[in-house]
Amino acid sequence: MTTSSDLLFSSFSFGPLSLPNRVVMAPLTRCRAGEGNVPTELIARYYEQRASAGLIVSEASQVSQQGTGYVGTPGIYTDAQVEGWRLVTDAVHRAGGRIFLQLWHVGRSSHVSFQPDRQAPVSSSAVRIRAGHAHTPEGPQPYSTPRALEIHEIPGVVGQFEAGARRAKAAGFDGVELHSANGYLIDQFLRDGVNQRTDRYGGSVQNRARLLLEIVEAVTGVFGADRVGARLSPRSEYNDMSDSDPAELFSHVATELSERRLAYLHVVEPLEGRALDAPERVTPLLRARFRGAFIVNGGYTREAAEEALRTGAADLVSFGAPFIANPDLPERLARRAPLNAPDVSTFYAGGPRGYIDYPRLDEAQPAAAGAG
Ligand SMILES: Cc1cc2nc3c(=O)[nH]c(=O)nc-3n(C[C@H](O)[C@H](O)[C@H](O)COP(=O)(O)O)c2cc1C
């Protein structure tokens, strides 16, 4: 008899990849990169510990200095960064895993202190983030007002992603995910709460999707479409984002990405207690339009993940915070074992603490037994 648990721990193939289970590690910024935004041995150990995931999507990695918005995030635009990432991909592959790099440009979520010559960060339009603060080397600061990219500069931005994909390939990644979610540069073009352009990159949904599709064309030219995924967050308000009609916009985007035969679509839409097919949810509309592998994310438990797979709402489910605290998450889910609780205070700082010291199930048992 097939049970729902057989689905979460059954294999899945897309393109040239064969995944041993459907438990994906979501991209998680941890701010542990070394000097020059270079990945280190510490980062390699962290990913190696999590290599039992069906697929790891790396933390977001900026494609340029212009695309940087946080302290300690790794880059993918220098030779030293490629060498650092090679430590990570080698460690994950040795441990039997697969890993994609998440390509990132933060756009207006930056601050002048990260920019060359303290220039203004760039975006689709000169609309500043009002909510929250930029996390600068000098501590929290109000976000800088961005400047709108000139139309002649856009090929250069596409080129940053293309170069990032080339370097990701040189570093040994199995593929790349475009970070087109969570209010960063690509999302700043997609959604009309920010994008006020009147040229061919603004206005209609076709125009607002243009930057993403140009980046897709460039990056699939490097990796092949079957090794490229994209992440979308159709209703997220993070980074002061909004859109007048997310269902229309993101349905168009899913259709276009499907035509370009992208390996997967990774959709972030927190469940927040709603049914998977609740009418306000955008995810089911995208599932219906996208033919490749479909990954869902946002507050999934083992039970919700199984339901998503059983009902055909998704092919794969990604887990964020649970993977921070549980290096052996697939095994714990399979055995219905208790999960370690994540320590929020070490999400973005703390070196090895709260990073590579969460116990595996077989390490946790002696500690628990020691109490008796
Ligand atoms: C510490 C932390 C860092 C994150 N960094 C990224 C990131 O680099 N890229 C990204 O697309 N999402 C990032 N996210 C969002 C997660 O990938 C995921 O969407 C979110 O945690 C919800 O999934 P969960 O409920 O399973 O944790 C981050 C989330 C957390 C908690």
Kindly give the number of the ligand 1 atom that is closest to the alpha carbon of 318. 26
Of 33, 36, 29, the closest CA to residue 44 belongs to 33
Kindly give the number of the ligand 1 atom that is closest to the alpha carbon of 182. 11
Spatial separation of the C-alpha atoms in residues 111 and 133, rounded to whole Å: 10
- Domains of the chain: which residue ranges? 4-370
25 touches ligand 1 (CB under 6 Å): no
pLDDT digits (tens, 9 = 90+) for 8-60: 999 999 889 999 999 999 999 999 999 999 999 999 999 999 999 999 999 99
Tokens of 17: 């990849």
Per-residue pLDDT tens digits of the chain, which is 372 residues long: 444 458 999 999 988 999 999 999 999 999 999 999 999 999 999 999 999 999 999 999 999 999 999 999 999 999 999 999 999 999 999 999 999 999 999 999 999 999 999 999 999 999 999 999 999 999 999 999 999 999 999 999 999 999 999 999 999 999 999 999 999 999 999 999 999 999 999 999 999 999 999 999 999 999 999 999 999 999 999 999 999 999 999 999 999 999 999 999 999 999 988 889 998 999 999 999 999 999 999 999 999 999 999 999 999 999 999 999 999 999 999 999 999 999 999 999 999 999 999 999 999 754 443 333
Is the CATH number 3.40.50.720 carried by domain 4-370? no
230 touches ligand 1 (CB under 6 Å): no
CB 105 within 8 A of CB 62: yes
pLDDT digits (tens, 9 = 90+) for 241-250: 999 999 999 9
Cα of 341 from ligand 1 centre, angstroms: 16
Q: What percent of the chain has pLDDT over 90?
A: 93
